[in-house]
């Protein structure tokens, strides 16, 4: 077994033992929290990606759904027992990180011979249901229906108490290649029975059935969906089928996604083609802070602007696609936001500064008479432990500006602090991306420095 897989499996076993060996004096909430922290430690040892965190609702009664993937057979934490990686990832790495509570998962009831499975999930006290192919021989259909019926009561109670609920509409797990399976009606039956408005947050998962040493575990949070209550039987059939088709499309698109950002670049090239006749535009180019600037045209309505941001972009990927995407005659300015994602690559601040300098040189060589606006990397709750590195990078680029007369330093770092401290005031629920107030600050900062 590869060292990465050994380290990951060792951490998973530690998470498993922390649950089954937890003291009976600990509350269920304490055990769930401990489990979540241990799972976070395990995933910190390997590569993973979370996309779409900007779609997380700030509050509400939330049901998180996902396409359920198998585990790789090597990741057994005890005899014939595996911790389901995708569901643990969602509750620990998404829900607990962003809502300070890992939520309640729905898991199947154990078979008589599944000692470790039973001990583990009994300790966590999740909502248990019978799943197809995992029903003991002595259990009748009526008993199954009776137990599963209680699921709706328990789920409704947990949601009313403000807990996030995590479930898979498939009721079974699949390989990435076969995913998603056919959705069952349980999700929509639950929604039809709820007496409170509930938001469904779809999460698309990929590669959790692979070895961590060979793949990157990925998930993408899609835009929340609000369904009407009191769904009829025909509504349940229709909505379940529609969501299943959406998931098939989402999973297939995610399979096409790669580190070259080919899917997003293709869409941006279409946008460039549509706007190629722009004269002296201001081009905004960079990672998700640019991509998510939905009000850009309204914020700069008196000038021609074009948004060419793509989410998750690194400095190297922005540099690689620069000549392909930026082909406008005499742009008035090119405003860039970059470097934040490179902090996830274990690069030193000096290495990030060097990469930014080389990229600025590339822009300057192609457009020597165009102003280049550098927006400083913003402070964020999500990257609070990297603030010293962010400051060093921003200060380093400020020094570089002395070598490039057309490089304009646009400081938003300090403008996004409140009394010198990082705040969520200007951020979305994920603590990373800007909200409307944040973009107002960004707009003012750009207008102060770039001649319109």
* Cα 142 to Cα 419: distance, rounded to the nearest angstrom: 62
* Cα 445 to Cα 439: distance, rounded to the nearest angstrom: 10
Tokens describing residue 234: 């025909």
- The reply to whether 161 and 304 lie within a common domain is no
**Domain holding 314: CATH number?**
3.40.50.1110
Provide the 3-class DSSP secondary structure of residue 92: helix
- The reply to whether 179 and 199 lie within a common domain is yes
- The reply to whether 241 and 325 lie within a common domain is no
**Domain holding 244: CATH number?**
3.40.1130
CB 208 within 8 A of CB 86: yes
- The reply to whether 294 and 208 lie within a common domain is no
Could you list the residue range(s) of the whole structural domain that residue 9 is in? 3-256
* Cα 272 to Cα 263: distance, rounded to the nearest angstrom: 15
CB 357 within 8 A of CB 407: no
- The reply to whether 144 and 290 lie within a common domain is no
- The reply to whether 373 and 423 lie within a common domain is yes
Tokens describing residue 403: 């070598």
Count of all residues that appear for the chain in the document: 452
- The reply to whether 359 and 250 lie within a common domain is no
* Cα 270 to Cα 276: distance, rounded to the nearest angstrom: 10
Domain boundary among 256, 272, 296: 256
* Cα 420 to Cα 415: distance, rounded to the nearest angstrom: 9
Q: Calculate helix-pair angle for 28-43, 115-124, nearest 10 degrees.
A: 110
Domain boundary among 239, 256, 273: 256
Which own/partner pairs from 414-423 qualify as long-range (CB within 8 Å, at least 24 positions apart)?
Answer: 415/441, 415/444, 415/445, 416/378, 416/379, 416/441, 417/379, 422/379, 422/380, 422/381, 422/384, 422/387, 423/381
> What does the pLDDT read at residue 260?
60
- The reply to whether 138 and 117 lie within a common domain is yes
Domain boundary among 207, 239, 256: 256
- The reply to whether 196 and 309 lie within a common domain is no
> What does the pLDDT read at residue 295?
97
Residues of the chain with pLDDT under 70: 257-260
- The reply to whether 150 and 283 lie within a common domain is no
- The reply to whether 237 and 282 lie within a common domain is no
Tally of domains within the chain: 2
pTM: 0.86
- The reply to whether 430 and 286 lie within a common domain is yes
Q: pLDDT tens digits, residue range 13-35?
A: 999 999 999 998 999 999 999 99
């Amino acid at each position: 077994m590869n060292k990465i897989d050994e380290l990951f499996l060792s951490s998973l076993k530690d998470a498993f033992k922390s649950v089954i060996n937890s003291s009976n004096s600990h509350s269920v909430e304490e055990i769930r929290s401990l489990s979540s922290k241990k799972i976070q430690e395990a995933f910190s040892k390997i590569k993973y990606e979370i996309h779409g965190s900007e779609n997380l609702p700030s509050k509400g009664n939330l049901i998180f759904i996902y396409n359920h993937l198998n585990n790789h057979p090597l990741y057994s934490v005890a005899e014939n027992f595996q911790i389901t990686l995708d569901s643990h990832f969602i509750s620990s790495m998404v829900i607990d990180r962003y809502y300070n509570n890992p939520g309640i998962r729905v898991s199947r009831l154990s078979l008589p011979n599944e000692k470790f499975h039973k001990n583990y999930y009994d300790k966590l006290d999740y909502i248990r249901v019978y799943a197809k192919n995992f029903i003991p021989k002595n259990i009748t259909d009526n008993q199954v229906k009776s137990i599963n019926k209680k699921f709706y009561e328990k789920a409704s109670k947990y949601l009313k108490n403000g807990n996030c609920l995590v479930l898979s509409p498939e009721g079974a797990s699949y390989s990435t290649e076969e995913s998603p399976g056919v959705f069952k009606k349980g999700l929509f039956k639950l929604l039809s029975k709820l007496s409170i408005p509930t938001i469904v947050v779809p999460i698309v998962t990929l590669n959790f059935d692979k070895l961590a040493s060979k793949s990157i575990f990925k998930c993408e949070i899609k835009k929340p969906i609000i369904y009407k209550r009191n769904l009829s039987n025909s509504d349940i059939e229709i909505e379940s089928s529609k969501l299943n088709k959406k998931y098939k499309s989402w999973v297939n698109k995610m399979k096409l996604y790669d580190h070259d950002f080919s899917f997003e670049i293709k869409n941006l090239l279409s946008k460039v083609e549509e706007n190629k006749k722009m004269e002296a535009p201001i081009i905004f180019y960079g990672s998700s802070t640019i991509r998510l600037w939905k009000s850009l045209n309204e914020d700069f309505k008196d000038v021609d602007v074009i948004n060419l941001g793509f989410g998750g972009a690194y400095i190297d990927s922005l540099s690689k696609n620069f000549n392909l995407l930026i082909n406008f005659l005499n742009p008035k300015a090119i405003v860039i936001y970059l470097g934040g994602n490179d902090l996830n690559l274990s690069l030193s601040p000096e290495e990030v500064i060097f990469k930014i300098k080389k990229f600025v040189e590339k822009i300057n060589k192609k457009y020597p008479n165009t102003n280049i606006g550098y927006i400083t990397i913003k402070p964020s709750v999500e990257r609070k432990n990297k603030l010293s590195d962010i400051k060093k990078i921003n200060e380093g680029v400020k020094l570089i500006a002395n070598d490039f007369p057309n490089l304009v330093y646009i400081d938003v770092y300090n403008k996004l602090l409140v009394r010198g401290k990082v705040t969520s005031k200007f951020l979305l629920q994920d603590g990373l991306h800007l909200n409307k107030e944040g973009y107002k600050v960004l707009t003012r900062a750009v207008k102060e420095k770039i001649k319109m």
